[in-house]
Structure formats: structure tokens, C-alpha cells
């Protein structure tokens, strides 16, 4: 096991009462002497990096080191990193554990990933964690409960010249074989081709349904990994530069 950290900041997008947050707190307490939670008051799924502007954002410390914010996951990080941790940054940010997977194109919409992203751009090691099949019951988090600490310790040991920014997805394993689950480094599955949309012309309204995917190109992706009941570990970039373009441009000059 790694040496204990001083401070860990954890958040999520499912809200402060979610089961996944409780699971993550239990894991974090094995990693650090001091764990601080800053979590949205309500479910903020699919908020991505949205922030609340031009209005007051209410906050409340409901217990020691546990803050609830009436805003988005990124609002939570902005409050935590510019107020609570204004003088000293946390050693690590953990976001999750999300109820459901965050893989492939879903990552760009994810409030869970966005909270970790906000930490990474501030040079803080940050990990987003999601449980495929997770819901409001503790039993659906068996895999992340059993393997979460191991996976985080494994990532922390990886040497990197830049801040760590990882997206982890745990498969749904509802059996005693969970301890035998293995992990794999993966890329993001780029599978979205359309969205299901439910239009009500009578009320001039619509609802967005499921993402419609093309699952033909799955080699070494996070989606393929989950389908094989393995833990997906995907290293992410915290800037959106197209390095491939610049590498080609320099090569052609």
C-alpha cells in the first residue's frame, strides 16, 4: 500500500446522499488522514463541466468535512479549490462512484468526469470512478467496493510528468468471484451515431432518451472491457488540443 496522503477531496454528480459516494468515502479513508466531501445537493448527472453563473450558489457544511452545494459538480470543485483549499491543494481528487458507467462518448457529458477534470487542470491528481449497474443499493457496488482501493493505489504508483487524470469503470459483478476481476488500460469507445428523441407535438416538447451506438469498433476500448467483466482504466487528457494535427503539421514543414 502507498504511504497515506494528507488530504483527499471527493465529490460526485449523483448527490450527497448517493450510495456510491458512501462507498468512495470508505475507500478514501484508507488512503488519507483527512477526507473532505464537497457534493451537489441534488442529482447533477450529465451536467458535464457546467457552472452556475450570475446567481448565488447556496452551500452548507452538514457535518465535519462534509459540504453540500446547491450547484453542479464543477461548482463544487470551484468552491472547494478556491475557498476550502485556497491555501493548500488536496493531494488527490476522487469523483464518484457514479451510479452507472461513464464510457466512450458519455465521458463528455459526465458530471463525474467533469469534477475530476477540474482538479486535473489545476495540477492535482484526479480520478473519476463509475460502477456499471450501480443504483441506490449497496449490493450493486460489489466490484468497486472490493477493487476500488487496489485500483486507486495502482494508478497513484504510475509515474507521470503531468497530473494524473483517469476514468475508471467497474463491471457489474454480483458474485463471490469479484476478487478475481482483472483490470486493463483502455481507450474511449467512440460509438455514438444518434440519440433517441421522444417528441410530443401536442405540447411542443421532447425528451432525450438513450444514446444510439455503433458497437462495431470496440478493440481495446472501455466498452469492450466492461463487456468482458474487466475493470476499465482510461487515461484522459485535460486539454482539447489536437496533437495529431500539430505533429503532422511539423512533419510536413
Q: In the prediction, which pLDDT does 84 show?
A: 95
In a domain, 201, yes or no: no
What is the helix (H) or strand (E) element at residue 245, kind and residue range? helix 243-252
CATH code assigned at 60: 3.40.1210.10
Instruction: Say how far apart CA 214 and CA 211 lie, in whole Å.
Output: 10
Which tens digit of pLDDT belongs to each residue from 21-43? 999 999 999 999 899 999 999 99
Residue 69: domain span: 5-189+217-252
Q: How far does the chain reach from its first CA to its final CA, in angstroms?
A: 48
Instruction: Say how far apart CA 251 and CA 13 lie, in whole Å.
Output: 42
Contact between 103 and 70 under an 8 Å Cβ cutoff? The reply is no
Average pLDDT score over residue span 125-143: 95
In a domain, 209, yes or no: no
- The total domain count for the chain is 1
Task: Please report which confidence band the pLDDT of residue 129 belongs to, taking 50, 70 and 90 as the band edges.
Answer: very high
Amino acid at each position: 500500500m502507498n504511504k497515506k496522503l494528507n488530504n483527499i477531496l471527493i465529490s460526485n454528480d449523483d448527490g450527497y446522499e448517493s450510495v456510491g459516494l458512501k462507498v468512495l468515502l470508505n475507500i478514501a479513508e484508507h488512503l488519507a488522514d483527512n477526507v473532505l466531501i464537497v457534493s451537489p445537493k441534488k442529482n447533477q448527472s450529465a451536467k458535464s463541466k457546467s457552472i452556475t453563473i450570475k446567481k448565488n450558489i447556496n452551500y452548507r457544511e452538514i457535518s465535519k468535512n462534509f459540504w453540500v452545494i446547491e450547484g453542479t459538480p464543477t461548482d463544487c470543485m470551484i468552491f472547494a479549490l478556491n475557498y476550502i483549499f485556497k491555501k493548500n491543494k488536496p493531494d488527490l481528487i476522487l469523483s464518484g462512484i457514479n451510479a452507472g458507467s461513464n464510457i466512450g462518448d458519455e465521458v463528455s457529458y459526465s458530471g463525474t468526469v467533469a469534477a475530476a477534470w477540474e482538479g486535473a487542470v489545476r495540477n492535482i491528481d484526479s480520478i473519476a470512478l463509475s460502477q456499471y449497474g450501480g443504483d441506490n443499493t449497496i449490493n450493486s457496488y460489489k466490484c468497486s467496493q472490493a477493487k476500488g482501493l487496489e485500483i486507486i493505489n495502482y494508478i497513484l504508483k504510475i509515474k507521470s510528468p503531468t497530473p494524473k487524470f483517469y476514468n475508471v469503470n467497474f463491471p457489474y459483478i454480483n458474485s463471490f468471484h469479484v476478487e478475481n476481476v482483472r483490470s486493463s488500460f483502455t481507450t474511449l469507445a467512440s460509438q455514438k451515431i444518434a440519440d433517441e428523441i421522444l417528441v410530443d407535438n401536442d405540447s411542443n416538447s421532447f425528451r432525450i432518451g438513450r444514446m444510439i451506438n455503433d458497437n462495431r469498433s470496440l478493440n481495446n476500448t472501455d466498452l469492450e472491457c466492461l463487456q468482458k467483466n474487466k475493470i476499465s482504466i482510461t487515461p484522459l487528457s485535460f486539454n482539447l488540443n489536437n496533437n495529431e494535427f500539430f505533429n503532422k503539421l511539423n512533419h510536413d514543414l
